[in-house]
Amino acid sequence: MISYATVVRREKMPSVYLYIPNIIGYLRIIVNFIAFAVCYSNRTLFAILYFFSFVLDGIDGWFARKFNQASTFGAVLDMVTDRVSTACLLALLSQSYRPGLVFLMLLGLDITSHWFQMYSSFLSGKTSHKDVQHTSNWLLKLYYEYRPFMAFCCVSCEVLYIILFLFADEKSTSLLSVCRVVMKQSPLIVLVFISTLVGWALKQVTNIIQMKTAADTCVEIDPKRSK
């Protein structure tokens, strides 16, 4: 039987939908809507808004830990917002560059890798897709267990895509040509560009490893169920 104190405590608890990190998540969605609405008319504003939404992604995690407001809904909202915003940007890049298939393949890898990871975590009874304690791959462990490394990889990907979008012209552009143009810019831009390429490459390798590891987990589930 539920005690009166428990009922009162539950009534005082805010709805999960109104958790601070989840409210920040709603703000991210609104900012992304505005960003993509102006992406062709004002690329600079788009870049600012898109990056601001990405910064909010880190802030909502801090609030979740600070106020003990981590939730399953918040984790799903966060991942869906991340995947959709990145997918939209990659779709834009696929229209601005040739070969556009490169960006569509990156989009497919990003979604597939994270979907496999989420579903395999669910099948394994884990509370978070970031729980990689049982994996033997050092890179995947480093990615999820060492926040600065994850931040470097994620920021590098988004900044690289933003740079490519800002340097794309009105017509379909050769990806290699734009990379050569960027390399002729100021030393600071060149340094940022090379750094983001490194982080981007590490992120794609991690995605591939994550997809394979998660797929192995899904394959191992069926024999266990049949016993």
Which residues are known catalytic residues?
Answer: 82
Task: Give the SS3 label for residue 97.
Answer: strand
Type of residue numbered 50: Y
Beta bridge partners of 74: none
Going by C-alpha positions, the residue among 16, 132, 127, 119 that lies closest to residue 77 is 16
CA pair distance 15, 130, nearest whole angstrom: 24
208: its two tokens: 């591939």
CA pair distance 181, 16, nearest whole angstrom: 48
Type of residue numbered 186: S
Task: Give the SS3 label for residue 173.
Answer: strand
Helices (H), the chain: 4-12, 20-37, 43-66, 72-96, 101-123, 138-145, 147-167, 175-182, 187-226
Question: Where do we find the tokens 């933003």?
Answer: 162
